[in-house]
């Protein structure tokens, strides 16, 4: 007897609603279908935007910032109360190890709401005094108001973490939101809608629409003229398309886009810490983190030893089921994405790379052979102009190259269309400070990776993004600021 699959619906004006059109949500762990997902058409997207607009004139508008902070804390608590359901949803959609979903994805979602609740309580306006020509003491101050309706479009690689990174500050600032999660990871966002409802968030403040991007839900949302601001995380090419849509009506945008990040390892580093750090920055989440290092530059005296240690480390990574003991790496997000990554594995061979390890698909002899797994892969021997050195692969792969001087490595790292992050490994902190500021990126890590204080600005340079979010930068993006000048 077959069991009916769950149907993931949209959440519009406080109600779960279905669409005629649906698509299958396939788990990359073993190719099993998890659910059927509704795809919002243009009319449903318009309804979601209209609900968000109406909510701006409803009870939400009367919430003080302190009441909004309390609401964020209730949402954080709501996620915590259903923590294991969120973990299961994220794991099934993405194939990531359970321990990662627990300690990173879902934990960070809770933390996002708590952080912005706290920041909201501490945030204030600006105040200035000046003397006018008539001798009067004039003062100016600023007030923050919501933009109104914010569209939030998110990717699949850290689904709930990246979605709530934007939902939390948008709500903190009093906006209503229409969110569109990736078609490849729709489950945790659906649970989030339930949490919003159960937390008592007024209807229409949080709306969720499922679907695809081009000529589907995502495009309908960005083209809706009643959306006041668009915040997006995803590929650079998609960001560029969304920017064109946002130009109509000169709407605010914030973009967190792709990367081709470097790790730079100086010979004076703590060798074992650097190997462990670069293994992590190359292979975490199967290399599907925008901040992963795909280009590794190692100072020549330790180059051979470093490559050997990285190869041994990559070969020791355990690939497997999300709940297996000691598992380090899960699947990629989908078969489609695996085809893209395997295409780069082939391209690297065609471009003359030496494949130090990996380069293929693991064989399990069980249901996982229907999943979307690839081996952690290391290349050497490519020139800096190779396509595999310039294009984002977004899989568990890095290329390791030697370098001879500080100036040389800075030039090679900066010779890149992207500018998201660089990780630096050295014991010489004076050099670390001097070199860090020479990289054209939004974020530099010294002797660590992925560590974030959520109050700091986050974003990319060049093709990696536009604007900064994090701390007061988020509150600035999600607010319309008015200056009031008073001549008493
Ligand atoms: P993607 O651009 O394909 O899709 C992201 C979202 O945009 C999805 O919800 C998709 O449905 C939607 N979309 C696609 N085309 C659209 C259109 N024309 N109009 C409106 N919406 C559209 O990206 P992805 O494959 O889901 O995510 C991987 C990418 O995200 C990588 O490039 C990665 O580097 C980047 N990323 C960046 C950051 C960062 O902080 N800079 C963080 C995570 C991921």
Q: What tens digit of pLDDT does each residue of 13-33 get?
A: 999 999 999 999 999 999 999
Instruction: Kindly report the pTM of this predicted structure.
Output: 0.97
Q: Could you give the CA distance from residue 459 to residue 259 in angstroms, rounded to a whole number?
A: 11
Statement: residue 1 has pLDDT above 50: no
Distance from the alpha carbon of residue 235 to the mean position of ligand 1, in angstroms: 4
Residue 14, class by beta-carbon neighbours within 10 Å (0-12 exposed, 13-18 middle, 19+ buried)? middle
Mean of pLDDT over the chain: 97
256 as an active site residue: the answer is yes
Q: Band of the pLDDT at 2, cuts 50, 70, 90?
A: low
Q: What percent of the chain has pLDDT over 70?
A: 100
Point out the catalytic residue in the list 39, 90, 219, 256. Answer: 256
Cβ neighbours around 176 below 10 Å, total: 29
| Phi, psi dihedrals of residue 246, rounded to the nearest 5° | -70, -20
Q: Are 413 and 251 in contact (CB under 8 A)?
A: no
Distance from the alpha carbon of residue 136 to the mean position of ligand 1, in angstroms: 53
Statement: residue 479 has pLDDT above 80: yes
Statement: residue 201 has pLDDT above 60: yes
Tokens read off for 120 = 């909201």
Q: What pLDDT does 207 receive?
A: 99
| Ligand 1 pocket, residue 208 CB under 6 Å | no
For the stretch 372-381, pLDDT in tens is 999 999 999 9
**Which atom number of ligand 1 is nearest to the Cα of residue 255?**
41
Tokens read off for 91 = 């794991």
292 as an active site residue: the answer is no
Point out the catalytic residue in the list 173, 290, 292, 416. Answer: 290
| Ligand 1 pocket, residue 153 CB under 6 Å | yes
Q: What pLDDT does 168 receive?
A: 98
Q: Could you give the CA distance from residue 7 to residue 23 in angstroms, rounded to a whole number?
A: 10
Statement: residue 351 has pLDDT above 60: yes
**Which atom number of ligand 1 is nearest to the Cα of residue 214?**
18
What the chain holds in terms of domains, given with CATH numbers, is: 7-257+464-486 (3.40.605.10), 261-454 (3.40.309.10)
Q: Could you give the CA distance from residue 324 to residue 254 in angstroms, rounded to a whole number?
A: 38
**Which atom number of ligand 1 is nearest to the Cα of residue 155?**
26
| Ligand 1 pocket, residue 217 CB under 6 Å | no
Cβ neighbours around 265 below 10 Å, total: 26
Buried b (16+ CB within 10 A) or exposed e, 245-262: bbeeeebbbbbbbbbbbb
Look up tokens 């750090």; give the residue. 277
Tokens read off for 294 = 């795909």
Q: Could you give the CA distance from residue 421 to residue 407 in angstroms, rounded to a whole number?
A: 18
Nearest CA to ligand 1 atom 39: 256
The residue-averaged pLDDT of 341-360 equals 98
Tokens read off for 195 = 């949490």
Statement: residue 447 has pLDDT above 80: yes
Contacts of 303 (CB under 8 A, 6+ apart): 400, 402
Q: Which of 175, 240, 250, 186 is nearest to 214 (CA)?
A: 240
Contacts of 245 (CB under 8 A, 6+ apart): 219, 222, 223, 230
| Ligand 1 pocket, residue 376 CB under 6 Å | no
Statement: residue 75 has pLDDT above 50: yes
Q: Are 253 and 74 in contact (CB under 8 A)?
A: no
For the stretch 381-430, pLDDT in tens is 999 999 999 999 999 999 999 999 999 999 999 999 999 999 999 999 99
For residue 352, is it left (φ>0), alpha (ψ between -120 and 50) or beta? left
Q: Are 318 and 324 in contact (CB under 8 A)?
A: yes
Nearest CA to ligand 1 atom 34: 258
Distance from the alpha carbon of residue 333 to the mean position of ligand 1, in angstroms: 13
Q: Are 412 and 297 in contact (CB under 8 A)?
A: yes
Q: Which of 182, 238, 450 to mutate to test the pocket of ligand 1 (most atoms within 8 A of CB)?
A: 238
| Ligand 1 pocket, residue 459 CB under 6 Å | no
Statement: residue 100 has pLDDT above 70: yes
| Ligand 1 pocket, residue 53 CB under 6 Å | no
Distance from the alpha carbon of residue 154 to the mean position of ligand 1, in angstroms: 6
């Amino acid at each position: 007897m077959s069991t009916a699959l769950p149907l993931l619906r949209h959440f519009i004006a406080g109600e779960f609603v279905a669409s005629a059109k649906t698509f299958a949500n396939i788990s990359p762990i073993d190719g099993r279908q998890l659910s059927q997902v509704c795809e919002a058409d243009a009319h449903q997207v318009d309804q979601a935007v209209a609900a968000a607009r109406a909510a701006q004139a409803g009870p939400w508008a009367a919430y003080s910032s302190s009441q909004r902070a309390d609401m964020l804390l209730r949402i954080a608590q709501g996620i915590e109360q259903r923590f294991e359901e969120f973990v299961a949803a994220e794991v099934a959609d993405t194939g990531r190890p359970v321990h990662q979903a627990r300690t990173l994805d879902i934990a960070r979602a809770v933390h996002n709401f708590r952080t912005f609740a706290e920041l909201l309580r501490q945030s204030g306006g600006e105040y200035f005094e000046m003397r006018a020509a008539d001798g009067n003491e004039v003062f100016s101050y600023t007030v923050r108001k919501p933009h109104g309706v914010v569209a939030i479009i998110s990717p699949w690689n850290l689904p709930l973490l990246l979605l709530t990174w934007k939902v939390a500050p948008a709500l903190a600032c009093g906006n209503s939101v229409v969110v569109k999660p990736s078609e490849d990871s729709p489950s945790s966002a659906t649970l989030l809608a339930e949490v919003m409802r159960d937390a008592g968030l007024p209807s229409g403040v949080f709306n969720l629409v499922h679907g695809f991007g081009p000529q589907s839900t995502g495009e309908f949302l960005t083209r809706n003229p009643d959306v006041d601001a668009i915040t997006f995380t995803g590929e650079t090419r998609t960001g560029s398309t969304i920017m064109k849509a946002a130009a109509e009506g000169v709407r605010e945008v914030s973009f967190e886009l792709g990367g081709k990040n470097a790790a730079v390892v100086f010979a004076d580093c703590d060798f074992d810490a650097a190997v462990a750090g670069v293994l992590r920055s190359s292979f975490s989440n199967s290399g599907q983190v925008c901040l992963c290092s795909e280009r590794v530059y190692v100072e020549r005296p330790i180059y051979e030893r470093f490559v050997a240690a990285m190869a041994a480390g990559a070969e020791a990574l355990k690939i497997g089921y999300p709940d297996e003991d000691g598992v380090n790496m899960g699947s990629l997000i989908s078969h489609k994405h695996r085809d893209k990554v395997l295409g780069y594995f082939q391209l690297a061979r065609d471009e003359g790379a030496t494949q130090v390890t990996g380069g293929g698909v693991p064989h399990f002899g069980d249901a996982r052979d229907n999943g979307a797994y690839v081996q952690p892969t290391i290349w050497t021997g490519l020139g800096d102009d190779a396509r595999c050195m310039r294009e984002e692969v977004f899989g568990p792969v890095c290329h390791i190259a030697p370098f001879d001087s500080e100036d040389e490595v800075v030039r090679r790292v900066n010779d890149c269309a992207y500018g998201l992050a660089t990780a630096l490994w050295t014991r010489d902190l004076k050099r670390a400070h001097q070199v860090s500021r020479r990289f054209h990126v939004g974020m530099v890590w010294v002797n660590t990776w992925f560590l974030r204080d959520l109050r700091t600005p986050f974003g990319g340079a060049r093709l990696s993004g536009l604007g900064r979010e994090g701390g007061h930068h988020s509150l600035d993006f999600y607010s319309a600021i008015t200056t009031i000048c008073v001549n008493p």
